[in-house]
A = this chain, B = another copy of it.
Amino acid sequence: MKTSGEAAAERLRQFIERVERLDEEIRGLTDDRKDVLAEAKANGFDARTIKTIIRLRQLDDNARQEAEAILETYKAALGIE
């Protein structure tokens, strides 16, 4: 039978290994994301603009249009054409 110390060590190990497995999956998906953006770039698309579009698609239309209206107002106020 395990001592309480051994049991605690075992539980600690399990928590650590669960986080490590998740980290590995996240690294894999992050690499996949880089590959997709590289593939898009190779197909003539602009990766930075794709990321901007993805941010915009996370906003609902009203929030996005309001943000764009404020930006246009500020650009005009500062003479940015």
Which residues from chain A sit less than 8 Å from chain B, CB to CB? Answer: 5, 8-9, 11-13, 15-16, 18-20, 22-23, 25-26, 29-30, 32-33, 36-37, 39-40, 43, 45-46, 48-50, 52-54, 56-57, 61, 64-65, 67, 70-71, 74-75, 77-78, 80-81
Contacts and interface: CB of A to CB of B under 8 A. Distances in A.
A interface secondary structure, majority: helix
A43 B12 CA distance: 9
Give the oligomeric copy count.
Answer: 4
Contact of A74 (B33, B50, B64): B50
A71 B57 contact: no
Contacts of A45: 11-12, 15
Nearest to A66: B46
A9 B78 contact: yes
Nearest to A70: B49
